[in-house]
Structure 1
Amino acid sequence: MNASTLTRGSQAGKRKAAPAIEGAARAGFTARGVIYLLVGLLALQIAFGGSGKQADQGGALQEVASKPFGEVVLWALAVGLVGMALWRLSEAVFGAAGPDGNKAKKRVASGARAVFYGFVAYSVISFAAGAGGSGSSDGKSRDATAKAMELPAGQWLVGVAGVVIGCAGVWMAVQAIRRKYHKHMRLGEMSRKVRQAVDVTGVGGGVARGLVFAVAGGFAVRAAYDYEPDKAKGMDDTLRSFTETPAGPWLLVLIAVGLMLFGVFSFAMARYRKV
């Protein structure tokens, strides 16, 4: 069996699974949008001193659970995130949309995203099932860092992980500023005003998200350098750290609004993303 036969088989499999894959992807983007919108709202409350809740995934899930029909919404989010993981897995197996979708680096990246969203989906399912909740991102970060540092060369592993996360954050922000998401969207179906709105949410949201990742990566590097796991921070502590800058809570306000914009951008991706 040669490479061309494998490619034809892969494309045939992708065509058969296309309707299910598309539905899974769009459900996943919608679920991601809800979570980021809620995290942004919680961060905004923290900036104005009106919330002791966690501004992270766990806090967002608790916010959903406290509302009428919250359990139904939680399971809907879980299904959506499972859909996102399956879609990314399908890209790793069959190739992604676009002329370069079959390149090895694209497939590897999709596989990594599938694993990431698989873990996120698992945490939401655990929360919805009442199995101890999602937990604090800060506590998880500190625990994971402490365990990693106990391994041989653990300090270096944590440092490298921090650099990778930080670089990923910078990459996210740069990609957003360059509007690289355009190549993944059906721009021809958008009116001029819709496209402008998508660019506002895509650039503003992408930069805010990237900055949060970059700063979190920096904290991980610092924890490794000082050999102090407690200096590693999850999303909640990372967001709160913005209030300690010379800009005070106003920088957190900007980041919070940016995360909310990213949530709205995810809804646009659910509507216009090429799958």
Structure 2
Amino acid sequence: MAAAARAGFAARGLIYILVSVIALQIAFGDDGGGQQADRGGALGELAGKPFGAVLLWIVGIALAGMGLWRLSEAVFGGAGPDGSKPTSRAANAGRFVFYAFTSYSVLAYAAGDRGSGSGSSDRRTDDVTATVLGWPGGPWLVGLAGAGVVGAGLWIAFRAARKKFRKHLRTGEMSPHTERVVNVLGVTGGTARGLVFAFAGVFAVVAAVQHRPGKAKGMDDTLRAFRDLPAGPWLLALVALGLAAFGLFSWCNARWRQV
């Protein structure tokens, strides 16, 4: 399971770095080269590279390995003193579902289903939001889900700022300089990732209050919204660099994570 987990962290890091590159292009007027700043856009970028098809299969299989590792932690408990707590097991069960779906979409895309994995996160968000808003009590469900995403994003950012990730790393195997770099990547990357989640959650709450599914935003539109704030493209560039830091931090997890 250790090899599967480390491969999964490496694949996750690659996706975040590709998303950050697209976001940087959007920030400075290139509109991302026509790609979405989300997982689908990252897969499209990867597919266009030499040996892109092979890389897609590797990423999909690696993410499946991450899912299996999370499932094993949900069933048998994870590393560390908190790994067997019910809350940790439940969180890992949720992560297993997420990575299983993500792996399936990437592998389907690699197998030739270009409608899988590469679809716009914005369009999927609109479709799901519109469907739920049509249910009895739908606005409340969307609003609660949005509030939950806001809370989760702020919690991710808070834990990153407090360096909670250190308890999962084998810091004793790092040199002092490496440890400082990993700390900076973990704080910067985790905070940026959490803020993007929280921002997306705010849009979902707005969609619920106004009963307008188009107000909900996927990752691409959420990142583009940063560009429209008073700080303009520089704010989006900072967020993109934060996501790149999270990608690099994922690679550090691939090397030093306790599994």
Residue 99 of structure 1: how far off its partner (Å): 1.6
Q: How does 1:1-275 map to 2 (within 5 A)?
A: 21-50=1-30, 51=32, 52-131=34-113, 132-134=115-117, 135-275=119-259
Output the amino acid matched with 1:117: Y
Q: Deviations over 1:182-241 (max 9, x none)?
A: 000000000011101101111111111011000000000000110000111000000000
Give the equivalent residue in structure 2 for 1:5: none
Q: Secondary structure at the match of 1:152?
A: coil
Output the amino acid matched with 2:51: F
Output the amino acid matched with 1:101: G
Residue 155 of structure 1: how far off its partner (Å): 1.0
Q: Deviations over 1:48-88 (max 9, x none)?
A: 11133211000000000001100000000001110111111
Question: TM-score, normalized by length of structure 1?
Answer: 0.91
Output the amino acid matched with 2:11: A
Output the amino acid matched with 1:26: R
Residue 103 of structure 1: how far off its partner (Å): 1.1
Q: Deviations over 1:100-148 (max 9, x none)?
A: 2111111111101111111111111121112124200000000011111
Output the amino acid matched with 2:185: T
Alpha-carbon RMSD across the aligned residues, in angstroms, is 0.8
Q: Distance in 2 between matches of 1:93 and 1:133?
A: 29
Work out the percentage of aligned pairs sharing the same amino acid: 59
Structure 2, unmatched stretches of 5+, are none
Structure 1, unmatched stretches of 5+, are 1-20
Q: Distance in 1 between matches of 2:98 and 2:209?
A: 26
Q: Distance in 2 between matches of 1:236 and 1:73?
A: 23
Question: TM-score, normalized by length of structure 2?
Answer: 0.97
Q: Distance in 2 between matches of 1:221 and 1:119?
A: 25
Q: Distance in 1 between matches of 2:82 and 2:42?
A: 36
Q: Secondary structure at the match of 1:67?
A: coil
Output the amino acid matched with 1:76: I
Q: Distance in 2 between matches of 1:119 and 1:152?
A: 28
Residue 152 of structure 1: how far off its partner (Å): 2.1
